Amino acid sequence: MVDYTALAFAAFKWLFAILGFFILIVIIIRLSGVLNLTVCPDCGGKLKRSKRTSQDKKVMFLGLGLLPIKRYRCYVCHWDGVGLRTANDGITIDGQNLD
Ligand SMILES: [Zn+2]
């Protein structure tokens, strides 16, 4: 005889533990500012915003909306990548409907 209640409880406990850990990681990434971009990581050039790809939207979904991911492009070396938006990053928004 299997105790399904205990089994379900154990499964939920693990689920919440993993979810809690995941949220903690997301918050640490955000607070540490490790992904905050102000200049190009390759050449230190000026960045401009570009449109998000569908993959970026998936990443945002996985980040539970806690990571304000923006796609950036470098003027100088054409580097293209994602970073977190900072409160005053000084990056000019290029065009409309970026979100
Ligand atoms: Zn660059």
Structural domain includes residue 89: no
Query: Which residue range forms the structural domain that includes residue 56?
Result: 4-84
Q: Which of 13, 37, 35 is nearest to 25 (CA)?
A: 35
Measured on CA atoms in the order 96, 86, 55, 15, is the torsion positive or negative?
negative
Distance 73 CA to ligand 1 centre (A): 8
CB distance 30 to 84 below 8 Å: yes
Structural domain includes residue 57: yes
Structural domain includes residue 9: yes
Measured on CA atoms in the order 47, 49, 50, 52, is the torsion positive or negative?
positive
| Residues ≥6 apart with Cβ < 8 Å to 93 | 49
Using CA atoms, how far apart are residues 2 and 4, in angstroms rounded to an integer? 6
pLDDT digit string (tens) for the chain, length 99 residues: 788 999 999 999 999 999 999 889 888 888 887 777 888 888 988 888 888 888 888 888 877 777 778 889 998 898 998 887 665 544 544 544 444
Q: How many domains does the chain have?
A: 1
**CB under 5 Å of ion ligand 1: residues:** 40, 42-43, 45, 74, 76-77, 79
